[in-house]
Amino acid sequence: MPKKLQISSYFYTMALPAGEILRKYFGYDRFRPLQEQIIQSVVSGKDALVLIPTGGGKSVCFQIPALMLDGVCIVISPLISLMKDQVDALRANGISAAYLNSSQTFSQQQAILDSCYRGEVALLYISPEKLTADISLISQMARPSMFAVDEAHCISEWGHDFRPEYMHLGALRERFSHVPFVALTATADKVTRKDIIRQLKLKDPGIFISSFNRSNLSLEVRAGVKPKQRLAEIAAFIRQKRGQSGIIYCLSRYNCEELTSDLRMLGIQVAFYHAGMSAANRSKVQEGFLNDDLQVICATVAFGMGIDKSNVRWVIHYNLPKNMEGYYQEIGRAGRDGLPADTILYYNYADLTTLNRFAAESGQADISLEKLKRIQHYAEADICRRRILLNYFSENLNEDCGNCDVCRNPRKHFDGTHLVQKALSAITRMREREGAAMVIDVLRGSMRTDLKEAGYHLLKTHGAGADISSFDWQRYLMQMLNLGILEIAYDENFALKITAQGRDILFGRTKARLTVLPLLIRKVSSTSGIQSSHVNDEDELFEQLKKVRRKFSLEEDISPYHIFSDATLYEMAKEKPLTEQEMLLIPGVGEHKFDRYGEDFLDIINSYPVQKTRKGR
């Protein structure tokens, strides 16, 4: 793209309202939920904490304000690959952006800062280490209009991906008190949210929490599947999804390499990715995946943060993840374009043993073990999995989703109101100060020394649940957590807290339905089919449009989805626009992209057989 086009585009946008910028550069007629409110808040100078799930449009919340404010938006990002990916996407939209990192020479970095000084760059992506080391020079050359802290959960020790280098960012808020700070993340529970605000020293921030419900993702857990059968199922699944991009997450580097070797032996083209590889090899694998040259990757959690590839159609967890936050973020890499996508989690006790050991040996053993327990019970649950997932992030889904394995194969339930009330009464009488173990001991009538010293043996609820085993009480309490009746205060020694929904049950305003406790591990029949999202990848016109997209991708050395997403191509294939005006009505087609690519796509559609193209017109 000619530099002057980027520069003139940037200066022109400063006079445009947010909605026109969205249409002109991003190709959409309306904002997604919360985006417009967040943009207005930031432009007015307020700090913000933004929680929007992967694929929900977080980036627009700081990219559009960056085009409306005078100066450079400094975007703090943890990974080089993330910076490059987002900068490529912005440039493809006609927006001037750049990044600074250790892969560049001094002269390259200086040239970028010179461009910032001349007002030619709207957004500058940078790592937290680089920013804190060179803050004086960067702030002189790139006068900050705002700061956007991406993957903000990395600043919290309560978060699932804590990074010490983020800890220095709080000092920036004090130094640049006159510009707004925006902290953005896809995954943070209540405790992590509070910690992000405290660590970044945000000033009276607006808190924007979008729905965590990604209804286009199917959820499935397959428990107790033996290794050979698991390999056969995964290979069959990949063949069924031929031509579609997918990620298999593994617990260890060894698992990645071994599974890759096994799948190759079965004739599947696949590569592995983990932190033990050289930077050059990791980059080669990642670029192959982003450019659609490589369909399947076996990876550790080292792969994926911030990768904006919109057409990942499935994610498989070969092992149980360490926590719900990581699991949610990893499955969120599928279906970012809004089209149906599949997620499958394999689970067995060998994984659990390994993860328990890792958690016990970590720097935060207590919280790591507690969070592991939550993902374990998600995997073992017999109620709608999406309800469990959303309740973990303090969002209540009032009905079953219909798009998970439990909903497709319903479990038996019973009226558990009286049982739940016993537990809630005990928790209330202990003033919501105790964790699950003490609550169960009180209900069971234990006479432990510390229980008696606390006076809990005198409570009316002491022994009220003696007819239920400790093990079953654990599982009932986990159901209550999964249903949103209870929540855990990780920062208060894991005390159980009663939610508003729980209080309604306690005081008889609503009833509680629990699942009849099943055997812990149910073997899945080897003949049962894995559900498919049935994406119509065979559509002739869609395939031809993909070829045009691929041509531009190779010419410009950018990922295909930065040109147009699969969802945009599907919409073209469905609506079959024949003029510029019709093409600009397709979501994802902005003015800049039409000027650059539109005629070639229109040529393909216009050359398509008339009877197929203009049916009913």
Q: How many domains does the chain have?
A: 4
Q: What whole-number distance in Å separates Cα of residue 161 and Cα of residue 545?
A: 38
pLDDT above 90 covers a percentage of the chain that reads 48
Same domain membership, residue 382 and residue 271: yes
Average pLDDT over residues 413-437: 95
Q: What whole-number distance in Å separates Cα of residue 454 and Cα of residue 435?
A: 14
Residue, of 8 and 403, whose pLDDT is higher: 403
- Is residue 490 one of the residues assigned to a domain? yes
Any idea what DSSP says for residue 24?
I
Identity (one letter) of the amino acid at 161? D
Buried b (16+ CB within 10 A) or exposed e, 242-261: eebbbbbbbbebebbbbbbe
Same domain membership, residue 41 and residue 176: yes
Same domain membership, residue 114 and residue 77: yes
Does the pLDDT value for residue 325 go beyond 50? yes
Q: What contacts 15, CB < 8 A, 6 or more positions away? A: none
- Do residues 436 and 407 lie in contact, with contact meaning Cβ atoms separated by under 8 Å? no
- Is residue 494 one of the residues assigned to a domain? yes
Contacts 24+ apart (CB under 8 A), 427-431: 427/486, 427/496, 427/498, 428/498, 428/506, 429/459, 429/460, 429/461, 430/454, 430/456, 430/459
Q: What whole-number distance in Å separates Cα of residue 128 and Cα of residue 115?
A: 21
- Do residues 532 and 342 lie in contact, with contact meaning Cβ atoms separated by under 8 Å? yes
Any idea what DSSP says for residue 295?
-
Map residue 151 onto helix, strand or coil.
coil
Residue, of 22 and 354, whose pLDDT is higher: 22
Q: Around 141, how many Cα atoms within 13 Å sit in the side-chain half-sphere?
A: 18
pLDDT band at 528 (very low <50, low <70, confident <90, very high): very low
- Do residues 63 and 182 lie in contact, with contact meaning Cβ atoms separated by under 8 Å? no
Average pLDDT over residues 347-366: 80
Map residue 123 onto helix, strand or coil.
strand
Does the pLDDT value for residue 616 go beyond 50? no
Residue among 230, 187, 156 at smallest CA distance from 54: 187
- Is residue 604 one of the residues assigned to a domain? yes
Q: What whole-number distance in Å separates Cα of residue 74 and Cα of residue 18?
A: 19
Find which of 273-277, 369-373, 424-428, 559-563 is predicted with most confidence, using mean pLDDT: 424-428
pLDDT band at 523 (very low <50, low <70, confident <90, very high): very low
Which has the minimum average pLDDT: 7-11, 79-83, 587-591? 7-11
The answer to whether the Cα torsion of 88, 544, 542, 291 is positive or negative is negative
Same domain membership, residue 556 and residue 571: yes
Average pLDDT over residues 294-319: 85
For residue 118, the tally of other CB atoms under 10 A from its CB is 10
Same domain membership, residue 47 and residue 22: yes
Q: Which of 390, 407, 424 is the last residue of a domain?
A: 407
Q: Residue 79 is part of a domain; what is its CATH number?
A: 3.40.50.300
* pLDDT tens-digit map of 164-201: 888 888 888 889 989 999 999 988 888 889 999 999 99
Same domain membership, residue 97 and residue 34: yes
Q: Residue 468 is part of a domain; what is its CATH number?
A: 1.10.10.10
Residue among 45, 117, 54, 87 at smallest CA distance from 559: 87
pLDDT above 70 covers a percentage of the chain that reads 91
- Is residue 17 one of the residues assigned to a domain? yes
Q: What whole-number distance in Å separates Cα of residue 192 and Cα of residue 204?
A: 17
Q: Provide the mean pLDDT of the chain.
A: 86
Same domain membership, residue 443 and residue 371: no
Same domain membership, residue 607 and residue 473: no
Residue among 467, 471, 466 at smallest CA distance from 519: 471
Q: What whole-number distance in Å separates Cα of residue 227 and Cα of residue 255?
A: 12
pLDDT band at 12 (very low <50, low <70, confident <90, very high): very low
- Is residue 502 one of the residues assigned to a domain? yes
**Domain of 584?**
540-613
- Do residues 345 and 327 lie in contact, with contact meaning Cβ atoms separated by under 8 Å? yes
Same domain membership, residue 127 and residue 60: yes
SS3 sequence of 512-565: CEEECCCCCCCCCCCCCCCCCCCCCCCCHHHHHHHHHHHHHHHHHCCCHHHHCC
Same domain membership, residue 334 and residue 187: no
Q: What whole-number distance in Å separates Cα of residue 37 and Cα of residue 39?
A: 5
Residue among 75, 562, 63 at smallest CA distance from 287: 562
* pLDDT tens-digit map of 532-580: 433 443 468 888 898 899 899 888 888 888 899 888 998 898 888 889 8
Average pLDDT over residues 456-472: 93
Confidence (pTM):
0.73
- Do residues 152 and 200 lie in contact, with contact meaning Cβ atoms separated by under 8 Å? yes
Residue among 541, 543, 559 at smallest CA distance from 605: 541
399 forms beta bridges with none
Q: Which of 156, 175, 209 is the last residue of a domain?
A: 209
Q: Residue 570 is part of a domain; what is its CATH number?
A: 1.10.150.80
Any idea what DSSP says for residue 485?
S
Q: What whole-number distance in Å separates Cα of residue 164 and Cα of residue 579?
A: 53
* pLDDT tens-digit map of 17-76: 899 999 999 999 899 989 999 999 999 999 999 999 877 788 999 999 999 999 999 999
- Do residues 334 and 217 lie in contact, with contact meaning Cβ atoms separated by under 8 Å? yes
32, 593, 596 from 93: Cα distances, Å:
18, 6, 10
Same domain membership, residue 231 and residue 356: yes
Rounded to 10 deg, the angle between the 60-68 and 3-13 helix axes is 90
For residue 617, the tally of other CB atoms under 10 A from its CB is 6
- Do residues 1 and 91 lie in contact, with contact meaning Cβ atoms separated by under 8 Å? yes
Q: Which two tokens stand for residue 473?
A: 């009480």
Q: Which two tokens stand for residue 179?
A: 């510009």
Q: What whole-number distance in Å separates Cα of residue 66 and Cα of residue 13?
A: 10
- Is residue 531 one of the residues assigned to a domain? no
State the pLDDT at residue 538.
41
Same domain membership, residue 89 and residue 55: yes
Cα 450 to the chain's mean position, in Å? 42
- Is residue 528 one of the residues assigned to a domain? no
Map residue 18 onto helix, strand or coil.
helix
Q: Which two tokens stand for residue 172?
A: 């920036």
Backbone angles phi, psi at 612, to 5 degrees: -85, -30
- Is residue 533 one of the residues assigned to a domain? no
Q: Tally the residues of the chain.
A: 617
For residue 228, the tally of other CB atoms under 10 A from its CB is 9
Backbone angles phi, psi at 516, to 5 degrees: -60, 125
- Do residues 167 and 133 lie in contact, with contact meaning Cβ atoms separated by under 8 Å? no
Buried b (16+ CB within 10 A) or exposed e, 581-609: eebbebebbbbbbbebbbeebbeebeebe
Q: What whole-number distance in Å separates Cα of residue 26 and Cα of residue 592?
A: 9
* pLDDT tens-digit map of 364-395: 788 888 889 889 889 988 889 999 999 888 88
State the pLDDT at residue 15.
55
Q: Which of 158, 187, 209 is the last residue of a domain?
A: 209
